[in-house]
């Protein structure tokens, strides 16, 4: 009986594994043609000044709607784009879209508008990343300080000297550098000391329970104090409720992002919000 069970378990796992491998391969195959087929869309989620409750900028978040697979979440396709190197071209597309759209918004609605773009480790192995960004900014006469590049400690863990050089070049240009998902990694603290960060984004897993869990609130409070003590601006990610907002206000957090203020939406929808002046939220 147990032998039978063992075999079934084995079959179950191999079947599951085969399905995972098949889906991965399909995603990879579809991803290769996705740029040409124009299947990507860059969404924008508001970043809000906590005290004034006003939009100061947005994070660009990539969306993919494939004709075979339907919508695929970034948490599923970004790692595959990363492993295959496709993220280099896709990442350039995101940067270009983000700066194009943000340049228009700076001119029309909000001269100080800042746009944040996520950059994967693999993109730093592209020798022309810095040149690409410099030329992109020149093309739109977009100030470097209007762009924030979000990296996770995964970028720094690669240990490539190229990453250090690129980050320093970008930082010297005036481009902002954010540490994304702060607190979820192993060595965020030591990296904060060694790299030219301007902004610290406290991961949403810490924000989730601040109204219920005293320990989480203490951690967030400490992260805010530490970030600000190092001269960084602090953004709270994943703010969903008014109660969380109030606590973060008490903790003097600088900025916030989350469903309470707005979900990621297509550029035209974001623009409507800026246009109707509802950049003053709630
Ligand atoms: P991230 O950079 O940490 O982005 C924040 C994620 O939290 C986004 O998920 C956003 O939609 C979600 N979020 C925002 N507010 C809330 C909230 O109040 N509650 C909850 N539950 N979630 C909230 P999304 O768009 O699915 O992206 C997931 C991750 O995929 C991103 O995490 C980022 O690491 C990666 N990603 C997305 N777009 C890009 C891109 O263009 N390039 C790269 N390299 N990575 C990207
Ligand atoms: Mg991010
Ligand atoms: Mg994050
Ligand atoms: Mg994340």
pLDDT in the model for residue 280: 57
Distance CA 44, CA 98 (A): 9
Query: From first to last of its 282 residues, what are the pLDDT tens digits of the chain?
Result: 555 566 677 677 788 878 889 999 999 999 999 999 999 999 999 999 999 999 999 999 999 999 999 999 999 999 999 999 999 999 999 999 999 999 999 999 999 999 999 999 999 999 999 999 999 999 999 999 999 999 998 888 887 888 999 999 999 999 999 999 998 887 778 888 888 999 999 999 999 999 999 999 999 999 999 999 999 999 999 999 999 999 999 999 999 999 999 999 999 999 999 988 665 555
Whether 133 contacts 175, CB under 8 Å:
yes
Contacts of 93-99 with C-beta under 8 Å, sequence gap 24+, read 93/35, 93/40, 93/42, 94/40, 94/42, 94/60, 94/62, 94/118, 95/132, 95/133, 95/136, 96/136, 97/42, 97/60, 97/267, 98/42, 98/60, 98/147, 99/136, 99/137, 99/140, 99/142, 99/147
Determine the residue of 43, 44, 61 to mutate for testing ligand 1's pocket, defined as the one with the most ligand atoms within 8 A of the Cβ atom. Answer: 61
DSSP letter assigned to residue 145:
G
CA of 252 to the centre of ligand 4 (A): 23
Whether 106 contacts 58, CB under 8 Å:
no
Determine the residue of 34, 39, 40, 74 to mutate for testing ligand 1's pocket, defined as the one with the most ligand atoms within 8 A of the Cβ atom. Answer: 74
Name the H helices within 35-120.
74-84, 87-108
Distance CA 109, CA 112 (A): 9
Q: Bridge-partner residues for 123, per DSSP?
A: none
129 CB near ligand 1 (under 6 Å): no
pLDDT in the model for residue 191: 86
- Kindly list the protein residues that place their beta carbon closer than 5 angstroms to ligand 2, a single-atom ion: 118, 150, 180
CA of 213 to the centre of ligand 4 (A): 22
Q: Please report which ligand is nearest the Cα atom of 121.
A: 1
Do the interacting molecules here have an ipTM over 0.90? yes
Encoding tokens for residue 235? Answer: 């953004």
Rg (CA), the chain: 20
pLDDT in the model for residue 7: 63
pLDDT in the model for residue 49: 98
pLDDT in the model for residue 10: 67
């Amino acid at each position: 009986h147990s032998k039978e069970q063992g075999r079934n378990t084995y079959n179950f796992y191999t079947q599951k594994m085969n399905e995972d491998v098949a889906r991965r391969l399909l995603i990879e195959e579809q991803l290769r043609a996705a740029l040409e087929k124009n299947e990507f869309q860059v969404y924008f989620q508001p970043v809000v000044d906590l005290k004034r409750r006003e939009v100061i900028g947005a994070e660009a978040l990539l969306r993919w709607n494939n004709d075979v697979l339907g919508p695929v979440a970034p948490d599923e396709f970004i790692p595959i784009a990363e492993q295959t190197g496709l993220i280099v071209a896709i990442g350039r597309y995101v940067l270009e879209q983000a700066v194009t759209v943000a340049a228009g918004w700076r001119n029309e609605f909000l001269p100080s508008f800042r746009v944040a773009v996520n950059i994967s480790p693999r993109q730093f192995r592209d020798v022309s990343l810095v040149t690409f960004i410099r030329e992109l900014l020149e093309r739109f006469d977009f100030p470097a300080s209007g762009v924030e590049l979000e990296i996770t400690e995964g970028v720094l863990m690669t240990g490539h000297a190229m990453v250090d050089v690129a980050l320093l070049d970008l930082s010297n240009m005036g481009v902002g550098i954010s540490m994304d998902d702060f607190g979820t990694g192993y060595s965020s603290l030591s990296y904060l000391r060694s790299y030219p960060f301007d902004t610290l984004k406290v991961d949403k897993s810490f924000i989730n329970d601040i109204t219920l869990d005293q320990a989480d609130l203490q951690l967030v409070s400490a992260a805010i104090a530490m970030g600000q003590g190092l001269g960084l601006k602090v953004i709270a990610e994943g703010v969903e409720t008014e109660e969380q907002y109030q606590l973060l206000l008490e903790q003097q957090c600088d900025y916030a992002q989350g469903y309470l203020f707005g979900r990621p939406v297509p550029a035209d929808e974001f623009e409507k919000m800026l246009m109707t002046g509802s950049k003053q939220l709630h």
